């Protein structure tokens, strides 16, 4: 029965018989494998997507908070100015929210108006201010990229409300200079022809005695109120002037500030002089 010559070691027999042994697996195995593998892939893709979304959302939130703080910085700065210079009897500062394109258009119109009206004398404290050159002040279109420069008009210093350091120079503007500043805001003709404005333009604020400061203040306040109301009625809703004028008087000095848009003028007079 058994031919001894055909005998092989069992290991060798097993190797030979099973080296290429194959059997068909059940059909469902392939589906199960593909489902498992591709489900895991899509799961990890989903995970990546949600992480990316969360990061994006977080970044957006941080950016929004940052820009919110940035927009509020003008107001805060004015508050700082108020605190430094104060005992003001009226809070005054202007905050202009210029985020919208409408407001940008408005600012552009101010700028083009300024280009026609404003005269500029280069900032130089040693140089007296009667020398005038024509150059419009730059309205701050790109607050984040470029810090607006100070400019002088007569003895008045015009500058962006950015920090107390950029606006610390004391000066003594007269009514005309104030009016120029007001006109620089592109006030409409109607407002410019208002008798209050005319009266106001006649008044030399600097010469006002301490005892007479109140009527002046009331005029200023009244004008301010009108100006704010008018301007706000003309402006897009998100371009709101919240406060526009600030003046005070103590025994030592008179001080006022008008603020509009991104610019302000301010003045101080030492009464003891």
Partner 1 sequence: MKSETQIVNGCLAAEKWAQEALYKQFAPFLFGVAKRYTPDSDLAADILQESFIKIFKSLSSFNGGSLQAWLKRILVNTALDHIKKHNTLSMAIEISDANAHEFESLVTFDDTHFDAKHLLMLMDALPTGYRTILNMYAIDGFSHAEIANQLGISEGTSKSQLARARFALLRLLNKSEKSYSYAK
3-class secondary-structure state, position 268: strand
Task: Let me know: does 262 contact 148? Beta carbons within 8 Å.
Answer: yes
Stretch binding partner 1 (CB under 8 A), from 25-33, 51-59, 127-135, 177-185: 25-33
- Footprint on residues 35-64 left by partner 1 (CB under 8 A): 36-38, 40-41
Is there binding between residue 34 and partner 1 (CB under 8 A)?
yes
> Across the chain, which distance is largest between two alpha carbons, in Å?
140
Task: Let me know: does 123 contact 254? Beta carbons within 8 Å.
Answer: no
Report the residue number, 13 or 54, with the smaller CB distance to partner 1. 13
For 38, how many CA atoms within 13 A lie in the half-sphere containing its CB? 6
| Shortest Å distance, C-beta 43 to partner 1 | 13
Is there binding between residue 16 and partner 1 (CB under 8 A)?
yes
Task: Let me know: does 262 contact 96? Beta carbons within 8 Å.
Answer: yes
Find tokens 């489900």 and name the residue. 39
| Shortest Å distance, C-beta 47 to partner 1 | 15
Number of residues that bind partner 1 (CB under 8 A): 33
Report the residue number, 32 or 210, with the smaller CB distance to partner 1. 32
Find tokens 């589906």 and name the residue. 31
Stretch binding partner 1 (CB under 8 A), from 27-35, 116-124, 187-195, 257-265: 27-35
Report the residue number, 30 or 55, with the smaller CB distance to partner 1. 30
Strand order of the β-sheet with 245-249 is: 151-153, 156-160, 263-270, 253-260, 245-249
- Footprint on residues 197-236 left by partner 1 (CB under 8 A): none
Task: Let me know: does 240 contact 93? Beta carbons within 8 Å.
Answer: no
| Shortest Å distance, C-beta 46 to partner 1 | 14
C-alpha to C-alpha distance for 192 and 97, rounded to whole angstroms: 24
Is there binding between residue 170 and partner 1 (CB under 8 A)?
no
| Shortest Å distance, C-beta 64 to partner 1 | 37
Find tokens 């203040």 and name the residue. 217
Is there binding between residue 189 and partner 1 (CB under 8 A)?
no
Report the interface residues with partner 1, using CB under 8 A: 1-3, 6-11, 13-26, 29-30, 32-34, 36-38, 40-41
């Amino acid at each position: 029965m058994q031919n001894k010559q055909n005998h092989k070691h069992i290991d060798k027999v097993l190797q030979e018989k099973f080296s290429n042994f194959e059997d068909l697996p059940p059909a469902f195995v392939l589906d199960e494998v593909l489902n498992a593998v591709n489900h895991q892939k899509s799961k990890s893709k989903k995970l990546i997507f949600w992480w990316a979304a969360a990061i994006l959302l977080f970044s957006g939130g941080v950016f929004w908070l940052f820009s919110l703080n940035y927009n509020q910085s003008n107001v805060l700065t004015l508050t700082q100015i108020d605190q430094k210079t104060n005992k003001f009897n009226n809070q005054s500062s202007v905050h202009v929210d210029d985020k919208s394109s409408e407001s940008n258009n408005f600012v552009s119109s101010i700028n083009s108006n300024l280009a026609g009206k404003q005269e500029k004398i280069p900032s130089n404290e040693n140089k007296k201010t009667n020398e005038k050159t024509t150059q419009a002040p730059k309205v701050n279109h790109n607050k984040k990229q470029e810090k607006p420069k100070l400019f002088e008009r007569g003895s008045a210093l015009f500058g962006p409300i950015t920090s107390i350091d950029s606006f610390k120079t004391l000066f003594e503007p007269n009514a005309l200079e104030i009016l120029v500043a007001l006109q620089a805001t592109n006030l409409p003709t109607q407002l410019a022809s208002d008798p209050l404005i005319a009266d106001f333009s006649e008044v030399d604020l600097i010469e006002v005695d301490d005892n007479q400061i109140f009527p002046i203040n009331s005029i200023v306040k009244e004008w301010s109120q009108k100006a704010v109301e008018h301007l706000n009625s003309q402006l897009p809703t998100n371009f709101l002037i919240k406060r526009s004028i600030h003046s005070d008087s103590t025994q030592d000095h008179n001080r006022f500030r008008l603020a509009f848009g991104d610019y302000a003028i301010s003045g101080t007079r030492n009464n003891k002089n």
